[in-house]
Amino acid sequence: MTALDPARFEDEWLEADAHGGFASGTVGTARTRRYHALLLTATQPPAGRVVLVNGVEAWLDVDGARVPLTMQRYAPDVLYPDASAYLDSFDTSPWPTWRYRIGENVMAIAEVFVAKESGETVLRWRLEGPATRAALHVRPLLSGRDYHALHRENASFNFDASVDGERVHWRPYGDLPAIGATSNGAYEHEPDWYRNFLYVRERERGLDDIEDLATPGVLHFDLAGGEAVLILHADAADDPPRERDALALAAQLDARERERRAAFGSRLARSADAYVVARKHGRTIIAGFPWFTDWGRDTFISMRGLLLASGRHQDAESILLEWTDTLSEGMLPNRFPDSGGLPEYNSVDASLWFVVAVHDYLATGHAPAATTTRLQRTVDAILEGYTRGTRFNIAADDDGLLRAGVPGVQLTWMDAKAGDWVVTPRIGKPVEVQALWINALSIASAWNARWQPMRDRAQQAFQARFVDPQTHALYDVVDADHEPGKLDRSIRPNQIFAVGGLPNVVVDDETARAVIAQVEAHLLTPLGLRTLAPSDPAYRSRYAGGLLDRDGAYHQGTAWPWLMGPFVEAWLRVHGAAGVRERFLAPLHAHLEHYGIGHISEVADGEAPHMPGGAPFQAWSLAELMRVEKLIDGA
């Protein structure tokens, strides 16, 4: 009987490197997503991700008994082997560690961690307790594919192995990096295909869910004689030489990683480090794992909590400077394609969030003079571009507010699109875009007086045009579809940014209280704010099903944990800090133990029990928790 609750088996762990690659899997060890892998590397950091080693089949022969240490799920729905009877406990401190009970007096321990800078994945096994004979067998399961794709049996896969002492190399496909495996085991070449792995999370998402994996051979270890080590890495021609002794290399990487992780102090800060990766000559932030890369909007929102709230000022500077080089027509891109190519300038708010991030970074007092000048010039260029007019009909209108939008394009953070269907087009003057615009003008006024009159004009127009005289809360969009006077009265969370989440409140006290009251009454859940009130005919209570179903629910009722940040900040500003942590943040801290362990999910169902969904590891969800925790500390 297992001591580990089977309800935890599908919770997920993450070990990320510094370049956009990562290892991830489940507590129960069976892969449930196409993205679960032990060696997933970014060939064009942080993009160009490919899966090289999907997993391993590992088992023990202990005193004549065969004990599985990993589980696999095969179509149509068969779990084999089943290791659950042996699985005693799981922990992620300092990295994912499993304990298997083998009889009364013997425990097998398995560990996996990724060395942040080198991207090597270290797997280790050891025994605790007496065992006269204990042989460990590990069969790597390989593919060599884009991380969004799936792999099937084919004649092109190259099973050849190159063995050099403790190192084995495989190169399944010539256009991908070779796979290096350094171990203190004996390699036996035994090529085979393992077919029809089933990924249940892909099936739930209405996507292809079956994969075949190749296994070139088996590594054998004498575990009774000491620990077993297997170090996986992607080999490039210009890689520096590695330590050839597996135990020595694992010890070096272990010591380095323990020291690095301990330096972050808190669990949240350690988790935050997963999202900070390289881009060209600087740094950037991954929006979420496993399928996102770096997005402009997500980067600028997330850095306030992930970096500035934890004192990582140098990383913040590097990221902001890296993005200044992408400015075009007053806009910063919102997305870089996974396969390279030109960045996508398809967001009205990403550039404005950049201005907010600049404000928060400069407010720390850690910006060198040259950096300050460069960032301020970029902010001025953004405001000039928006004032003049830029892509997608983005421009300052006659009333001083910012209009945006053309049919068929999603420009705000509510950006779901399925085929030609833009679910929430929000063309016109969306409320949070105006709050960002007014804040940006106010921020830039600190060093350039030309923006102050524009800020005052936009502020007056906002107060006159967005306040609903019946509820005293705010409309979601005015001049909807660019029709003067047309109002979108949908009760959505976007109005909260007029009170919280940005440096400056843009409404009076009465309106601020009304906004908070309406959001609390209609949108607040334990795991974030709903994107639409349940009373709306378009409301969708569950984020589930195929792509069309999920996109249709994404911003039509689904709750978003990151929105708890602006809501809590608004609450602090209006009601004070008493009881805030217990009332609003305790459920998020409890959520750290489930779904994506140590992290906060992308979304959750709008209705109880508010099942988490989307990406299990989402940057801005974690970031906003970190940011408001610091705000509460200072309240």
pLDDT of residue 633: 93
Instruction: Please check whether residue 190 lies inside any domain of the structure.
Output: yes
The span from the CA of 418 to the CA of 503, in Å, is 34
Instruction: Please check whether residue 377 lies inside any domain of the structure.
Output: yes
In the chain, what percentage of residues exceed pLDDT 90?
Answer: 92
Number of domains in the chain: 3
* Tens digit of each residue's pLDDT (9 = 90 or more) over 459-512: 999 999 999 999 999 999 999 999 999 999 999 999 999 999 999 999 999 999
Does residue 55 contact residue 211 with C-beta atoms inside 8 Å? no
Domain check: are 245 and 384 in the same one? no
Instruction: Please check whether residue 135 lies inside any domain of the structure.
Output: yes
Instruction: Please check whether residue 1 lies inside any domain of the structure.
Output: no
The span from the CA of 50 to the CA of 44, in Å, is 10
Domain boundary among 218, 241, 262: 262
Instruction: Please check whether residue 420 lies inside any domain of the structure.
Output: yes
The span from the CA of 499 to the CA of 507, in Å, is 7
The span from the CA of 318 to the CA of 355, in Å, is 15
Domain check: are 353 and 411 in the same one? no
Domain check: are 65 and 201 in the same one? yes
Is 241 a residue whose pLDDT tops 70?
Answer: no
* Tens digit of each residue's pLDDT (9 = 90 or more) over 546-579: 999 999 999 999 999 999 999 999 999 999 999 9
DSSP-derived letter for residue 242 is: -
pLDDT of residue 282: 87
Domain check: are 107 and 196 in the same one? yes
Structural tokens at position 66: 């065969």
User: Mapping DSSP to helix (H, G, I), strand (E, B) and coil, where does residue 331 land?
Assistant: strand
At residue 244 the predicted structure's pLDDT band, cuts being 50, 70 and 90, is confident
Domain boundary among 262, 277, 308: 262
Domain check: are 142 and 242 in the same one? yes
Q: How high is the mean pLDDT of the chain?
A: 95
The residue with greater pLDDT, 213 or 132, is 213
Rounded average pLDDT over 83-99: 96
Does residue 516 contact residue 386 with C-beta atoms inside 8 Å? no
Instruction: Please check whether residue 132 lies inside any domain of the structure.
Output: yes
Domain check: are 66 and 211 in the same one? yes
Domain check: are 546 and 616 in the same one? yes
Domain check: are 307 and 378 in the same one? yes
Domain check: are 433 and 501 in the same one? no
Instruction: Please check whether residue 56 lies inside any domain of the structure.
Output: yes
- The DSSP-derived string for 14-38 is EEE-SSS-EEEEETTS---STT-EE
Domain check: are 248 and 148 in the same one? yes
Instruction: Please check whether residue 498 lies inside any domain of the structure.
Output: yes
Domain check: are 19 and 163 in the same one? yes
Is 239 a residue whose pLDDT tops 80?
Answer: no
What is the reported pTM? 0.96
DSSP-derived letter for residue 400 is: S
* Tens digit of each residue's pLDDT (9 = 90 or more) over 123-165: 999 999 887 789 999 999 999 999 999 999 999 999 999 999 9
What is the domain extent for residue 473? 397-493
Domain boundary among 460, 493, 526: 493
pLDDT of residue 1: 42
- The DSSP-derived string for 81-121 is S--TTTEEEEE-SSS-EEEEEETTTEEEEEEEEE-TTT--E
Structural tokens at position 156: 């092109």
Domain check: are 184 and 279 in the same one? no
